[in-house]
Structure 1
């Protein structure tokens, strides 16, 4: 990564240091114009940069005009978009030079391209619009999407062109795929009412894309392309269990101060003659009896993706989840200073009531919602086709 960063930095510096003359020699005429105008704005009397600007300006315009002449001679309707862009480029180029001081502007001849721009703009928008109509008439989703992009091009070139906004909305609607997400209970267990209600709260709208829409409630006016079925195959609950274990913890702690003695048994003294005292470290121990309550709810199932156009199962992914209830509490005998932070948190606690199966299923439902959303998000590309 460091090598890549250095390489990118080097490339940026290399481009930044490239002179307008070098750009001109490479045929990078518009880049040369940018660099030369930048220099001339600071130093209008720079004759070298003025020479580069004049040559790059003349060559760039010449090539663009020759290209326009060729495209007009060729007479292909689809060329109008490029012709329009070339006229815009010619206009942009001379407007860039117009911003320079008058002593530089006087060295150039400027042309009014307004008529050519308006004419080619209208023709380009009309070509894209008509191509959009052709695609739209085919009636299939992929053609509707092609139509949308053609109408979008027309709207970008010429905002408000005919009824292009209406055609954009129409082609977008025809090109959209719709997927309905729902639950099937094949577990053999009757599910409480809240299960379906909560599962339908899965927020899939933020997974929508430009060509894909998700529903969790069926819309009678929508023709669906895909069914996403959460198939529940098993629901089970573990027994309520309490496990106990006894263990000890030890820790070395300071218990006051003590004198420090030399090898002869005499109290050591510092340079001022004061007795030296050091922390008195002792090992303390505590015996812990820990209890852990636990219970789980397991929901097994799969998320099945069906293509309604072909009536085929496209993909199946597991959607099993397990909700876990755990509660630890304990008591300690001995020195409480020996306890670790984790153990100290459970000391003095008491047993709590186990959650009901319904509450455990509610917790599992939340996990299942998140799991379903993750699987659907991962398979969005499959559903956009």
Structure 2
């Protein structure tokens, strides 16, 4: 009984697999395009497959009729973008034709698969005309949001019909009208001790902004670029250090009394090694040099002079050093204590280098803030 049950299962599975590969199941579900594709694939591998031939004949006629019906309905529609629906239907018909033409066995079933080359080209021209008109209308609205939509419509115009009228010129006009121009005023410091560190910070910010590409409708300019190109900004981003402290030094000394028992301190001819306690006084010095700053990022609308974004960004860097000295017997010290006792006090980095270090976390926060504000602006 189990053998019969297994046999029935494999027969059912085989029928199911054949139905899937010939496209019969897709045909029964009304997926005519899919059914045609599956039947074509089957006939390419098995040209005499009876079921696949029957499926192809039925599926192609039904698919063609469905697409032609969709085309007629789209043409009568009030949808302003109806020609793009027409294009989609023609393209699917032509794609089916290409698939059948690439399969010799299929051509014996569907000898002359229809193609609509001229009709497709005409539909693309009409769709491009609609997109172009929409773009012009939106561009004339005079605001940035409409200009962005205009840009998208002109791009679609070019995709539909290359070199339609002056589309490339309109794309450039729309982009220039849509783009947000942000002039960045760098943070300045008066002291020459920190000038190099500040220049490094500003250079990193400028490099990031010059390479910014996430939102193509936002462009950053430094003051020099803006002046040279005579840019009239939409926004001003002002960077300013509200406060910073570099090189605050703290030195802490702690003294430890050390003793270690059972240390060989001598030797006697009579009794051998002599063990006792060794002692030392260890002075450990911990030095910290702290640097920190507060950067104000303020974005101002150029026309209204209103603040549209403001953030306070903080950064801190602490440089540390440790050394020690001792008096007494070095055998009372651990290996670590002995090692630091051999170290000498190290000079901290220069003020400029310390400035760079505390601005690193500020830079990371600044980039994050700019990205979150402008990426989807």
* Match among 75, 80, 84 for residue 81 of structure 1: 84
Q: Give 1:18 shift.
A: 8.5
Q: Tell me, yes or no, if the aligned pair for 2:289 and 2:320 is still in contact at 8 Å.
A: yes
> In structure 2, do the counterparts of structure 1 residues 196 and 139 end up closer, same or farther at CA, with 3 Å as the change threshold?
farther
Distance in 2 (alpha carbons) for counterparts of 1:195 and 1:56:
72
Is residue 2:209 matched to residue 1:207? no
Distance in 1 (alpha carbons) for counterparts of 2:118 and 2:65:
19
User: Residues 153-187 of structure 1, C-alpha deviation per residue, up to 9 Å, x if partnerless?
Assistant: 111112232222222122112111122222456xx
Q: How does 1:372-383 map to 2 (within 5 A)?
A: 372-381=366-375
DSSP 3-state at the match of 1:200: helix
Is residue 2:203 matched to residue 1:197? no
RMSD, matched Cα: 3.2
Distance in 2 (alpha carbons) for counterparts of 1:248 and 1:47:
100
> In structure 2, do the counterparts of structure 1 residues 344 and 40 end up closer, same or farther at CA, with 3 Å as the change threshold?
farther
Q: Give 1:64 shift.
A: 1.0
Equivalent residue, structure 2, for 1:143: 146
> In structure 2, do the counterparts of structure 1 residues 73 and 242 end up closer, same or farther at CA, with 3 Å as the change threshold?
closer
> In structure 2, do the counterparts of structure 1 residues 91 and 240 end up closer, same or farther at CA, with 3 Å as the change threshold?
same
Q: Tell me, yes or no, if the aligned pair for 2:185 and 2:238 is still in contact at 8 Å.
A: yes
> In structure 2, do the counterparts of structure 1 residues 68 and 327 end up closer, same or farther at CA, with 3 Å as the change threshold?
same
> In structure 2, do the counterparts of structure 1 residues 296 and 42 end up closer, same or farther at CA, with 3 Å as the change threshold?
same
Q: Give 1:232 shift.
A: 1.9
User: Residues 308-333 of structure 1, C-alpha deviation per residue, up to 9 Å, x if partnerless?
Assistant: 35433233222111122212334684
Q: Tell me, yes or no, if the aligned pair for 2:93 and 2:114 is still in contact at 8 Å.
A: no
Is residue 2:318 matched to residue 1:324? yes
Equivalent residue, structure 2, for 1:55: 58
Q: Give 1:344 shift.
A: 8.5
Distance in 1 (alpha carbons) for counterparts of 2:345 and 2:124:
78
Distance in 2 (alpha carbons) for counterparts of 1:205 and 1:141:
22
Equivalent residue, structure 1, for 2:171: 168
Q: Tell me, yes or no, if the aligned pair for 2:291 and 2:354 is still in contact at 8 Å.
A: yes
Q: Tell me, yes or no, if the aligned pair for 1:207 and 1:377 is still in contact at 8 Å.
A: no
Q: How does 1:299-338 map to 2 (within 5 A)?
A: 299-330=293-324, 333-334=330-331
Where does the alignment leave 5 or more consecutive residues of structure 1 unmatched? 1-15, 250-285
Q: Give 1:105 shift.
A: 1.0
Equivalent residue, structure 2, for 1:92: 95
> In structure 2, do the counterparts of structure 1 residues 173 and 24 end up closer, same or farther at CA, with 3 Å as the change threshold?
same
Is residue 2:47 matched to residue 1:41? no
> In structure 2, do the counterparts of structure 1 residues 358 and 71 end up closer, same or farther at CA, with 3 Å as the change threshold?
closer
Moved more, 72-81 or 19-28: 72-81
Q: Give 1:122 shift.
A: 1.4
Q: Give 1:149 shift.
A: 0.8
Distance in 1 (alpha carbons) for counterparts of 2:18 and 2:245:
70
Distance in 1 (alpha carbons) for counterparts of 2:57 and 2:257:
89
Is residue 2:119 matched to residue 1:116? yes
Q: Give 1:205 shift.
A: 2.5
Q: TM-score, normalised by structure 1?
A: 0.74
DSSP 3-state at the match of 1:27: coil
> In structure 2, do the counterparts of structure 1 residues 325 and 243 end up closer, same or farther at CA, with 3 Å as the change threshold?
same
Q: Tell me, yes or no, if the aligned pair for 2:131 and 2:157 is still in contact at 8 Å.
A: yes
Q: Give 1:83 shift.
A: 1.2
> In structure 2, do the counterparts of structure 1 residues 132 and 18 end up closer, same or farther at CA, with 3 Å as the change threshold?
farther
Work out the number of aligned pairs and report it.
326
> In structure 2, do the counterparts of structure 1 residues 38 and 347 end up closer, same or farther at CA, with 3 Å as the change threshold?
farther
* Match among 342, 348, 354 for residue 348 of structure 1: 342
Q: Give 1:291 shift.
A: 2.9
